[in-house]
Chains A and B, each alone.
Chain A
Amino acid sequence: MATQLDKTNLLNAYRTMKQIREFEERVHVEFATGDIPGFVHLYAGEEAVATGVCMHLNQRDKIASTHRGHGHCIAKGVDIDAMMAEIYGKRTGSCGGKGGSMHIADISKGMMGANGIVGAGPPLICGAALAAKFKGDQGVGVAFFGDGASNQGTTFESLNLSMVWKLPVLFGAENNGYAESTGVKFNVPTANISDRAAGFGMPGITVDGNDFFAVYEAAGEAIKRARAGGGPTLLECKTNRFFGHFEGDAMTYRAKGEVKDLRERCDALKIFSTQVTSRGLLSQEEMTTIDSEVKAAIDKAVALAKAAPNPTAADLLTDVYIAY
């Protein structure tokens, strides 16, 4: 493991994961002050999944995200200042303040949108992959979805359609153990979500989603196969959610001490740090430097977002149609 990534890539992987963590921890704090409107769902704890998958993607490749979409945005290269401004609902946000946390997107980066509808992404990414196939540009599409969305008909239909049309798709199941407040043991009758791939004649694999290298390697193989015309893969990453379903969720459905224990034992950043330092691939100092750079960048993003202007009244009526 790990050997195929050079130092620059390892540093990039760490930086991306750290950016996601810091971004989410900070949004958690700022949300509690009442400055951030609406519904916010945080990705902290799942950083290795978005990072391990998106490191294989280029600008041409597309991702469809979920309501828990900040991590996917950051991993796909969306500008952090524009993201934070969007979450604050400001005019300078990546969607001009009209999308917010649940619909954050940057089409120019191949990030086709967070989505307020559970299970809406897989059909859309089949279309993105179909477009790539027609263009012949070797592009791939990745649909991230949770254990909750794994039960949606749209997901099953998309697994089927992607096989029927042999589409270059990676279905990235992020199994964080909870569909809102309902445990995966209640929701999913198979041991693994990836077991369902067999029903569609599709390769299915489950990895430790808190282990960046496990995700990176499995995703790499699936994406390589997709680019070569070998069709879709269902990759399940078993991971953990450090915050509630939404900000404000008291999480009474979780065991006492569960999150604290997960943060100690299953933290993707800690696991990564141990792996790379024990093998002498990166030093702690190198990562500490990144930590302070990331913290400064998030501080700046929050300051800019708070100072940014709101949309104007005229903005209410624009962007419904291109021409009407």
Chain B
Amino acid sequence: MARKLSFKDAINEAIAQEMERDQSVIVMGEDNVGGAGSPGEMDAWGGVLGVTKGLYPKFGERVMDTPISESAFIGAAIGAASCGMRPIAELMFVDFMGVCFDQIYNQAAKFRYMFGGKAETPVVIRTMIGGGFRAAAQHSQCLYPIFTHIPGLKCVIPSGPYEAKGLLIQAIRDNDPVIFFEHKAMYALKAEVPEEPYALPFGEAKLLRSGEQVTIVAFGLMVQRALQAAEALANNGIDCEVVDPRTTSPLDETTILQSVAKTGRLVVVDEAYPRCGMAADISALVAQKGFESLQAPVIMVTPPHVPPPFNGALEDLYMPDSARIEAAVQSIVK
């Protein structure tokens, strides 16, 4: 029986194994140790939701707390990456990226191009995304389309523990800047995860379920919901294929187009906002390069174009769930 690990522990294990392997890997972020300068214990938190807990006792000063000062420490992570380190910076919630966005999209993303290919910036910025915690408008967004929009960044959205470990190891070894989006509602989710280190390549989608009638492309937590929907639909005689792109930049266009060529129908499930989001992007891709295969309109299952609400009933309405995915599929399968 293979070992099962939670999404959170898979991330922690990836970091620990890479820190063992490579001395240039360092970790920094707000409360990533937890307790620096305080009278109680060190490693008190290990990150606000405990993802980096246990790293400080193992690796000492290579795991650093920072002031709540995102521009400075995200910039410092990027600067250190330009100078031979492999920093993993944790920016607690993606919603906070606004305060330090310049360092990410004008600095890290641009160095290589602006400097004529002579710069390398092997930084990883880990950040939490997504709803379901009743955390409202400033702690629940997805925002990965904003980063996907920027050439020079790589964007990774793991959909489970196995992907989280393998994709994070690839992110740490990668020599380009990587933004790693962790859906906070999945931290406790368990799945089989190999103990040894392994890297999953970027730009290779995973076909999670084979089917003939409808292709469902989904990201992050929405992959889990798409699988639930596909299961329910199968019981009603509708055969869905589920594709997890795993990275939005680079994007594996081939797997998506091949799947749509087979099924002729596409539903894209994206927890990000609908305008200029991944659902719109994938829809445009298939409209341009897979139009002849389409037997029905492409359906986007996303939140409405509103901020995430606080009230639980409203948030449940806001987030795509398996019922909405099922309804979307049924609407194009006659």
Contacts and interface: CB of A to CB of B under 8 A. Distances in A.
A and B associate in one complex: yes
B195 to A, nearest CB: 28
Interface of B: 24, 26, 62, 64, 66-67, 69, 71-85, 87, 102-103, 106-107, 110-120, 151-152, 154, 174-176, 203, 250
A192 interface: no
B55 to A, nearest CB: 16
B76 A98 contact: no
A117 B113 contact: no
B84 A135 contact: yes
Nearest to A163: B67
Contacts of B115: 95, 98-99, 103, 105, 107, 113
Given A127-B75, A127-B81, A127-B82, A322 B120 contact: yes
B69 A130 contact: no
Interface string A136-171: 000001000000000001100110110011000000
Interface in A158-210: 158, 160-161, 164-165
Contact of B83 (A123, A127, A319): A127
A103 B111 CA distance: 9
Contacts of A318: 117
Contacts of A127: 75-83, 85, 87
B79 A322 contact: no
Among B66, B80, B114, B151, chain A packs the most CB atoms within 10 A around the CB of B114
A320 interface: yes
Given A117-B107, A135-B84, A154-B75, A322 B113 contact: no
A265 to B, nearest CB: 38
A117 B83 CA distance: 20
Contacts of A282: none
For this complex, into which size category does the number of interface residues on chain A fall? 35 or more
A128 interface: yes
Given A117-B107, A322-B175, A95 B76 contact: no
Contact of A128 (B64, B74, B83, B203): B83
A157 B176 contact: no
Contacts, number: 150
9 contacts: A107-B115, A107-B118, A113-B111, A122-B72, A123-B79, A127-B76, A131-B85, A134-B80, A164-B67
Contacts of B76: 123-124, 126-127, 130, 158, 161
Nearest to B79: A127
Contacts of A122: 72, 75
B118 A108 contact: yes
Among B64, B81, B118, chain A packs the most CB atoms within 10 A around the CB of B118
A107 B270 CA distance: 40
A323 interface: yes
Contact of B117 (A103, A128, A158, A319): A319
A161 B73 contact: yes
A132 interface: yes
Contacts of A141: 79
B150 to A, nearest CB: 10
Given A116-B106, A117-B102, 16 more contacts: A99-B114, A106-B118, A107-B118, A120-B107, A123-B75, A124-B76, A124-B103, A126-B72, A126-B75, A127-B77, A131-B83, A154-B71, A158-B75, A318-B117, A323-B175, A324-B176
Contacts of A68: none
Nearest to B122: A322
B107 A99 contact: no
A98 B151 CA distance: 14
Contact of A96 (B80, B117, B151): B117
A52 B103 CA distance: 29
B82 A112 contact: yes
Contacts of B81: 127
A202 B295 CA distance: 68
Interface string A285-324: 0000000000000000000000000000000001111111
